[in-house]
Amino acid sequence: MERKGDFISTSIRYKKETEVVTFQGREITLENLSPVFTPEQEAAKRRELEQQLYEVFRKYADKRQKEEAGA
């Protein structure tokens, strides 16, 4: 971790995957970069994603319940 003023900056490493595919007779190189997280960062990202998904599902579940109650 690197401290800059009041901010803590972490440099994120990426795993690079390269694949050559043929499309319409031409070879195309595809590169995919995936972030490499520490276990703590991975857990924090997972919790954040789970919370966001929960909010989306709750929104639509509430909407569906209201529609069913009105029908």
Residue range 25-57, pLDDT digits in tens:
999 999 999 999 999 999 999 999 999 999 999
Alpha-carbon distance 3 to 1, whole Å?
7
Domain count across the chain = 1
pLDDT tier for residue 67 given thresholds of 50, 70 and 90: confident
Structure tokens at 57: 């599902």
pTM: 0.50
Average pLDDT over residues 60-67: 82
Angstrom distances, CA of residue 35 to CA of 21, 41, 56? 23, 11, 25
User: Domain residues for 59?
Assistant: 2-70
Give per-residue burial for 8-29: e unless 16+ CB within 10 Å, then b.
eeeeeeeeeeeeeeeeeeeeee
Confidence at residue 9, expressed as pLDDT on a 0 to 100 scale: 59
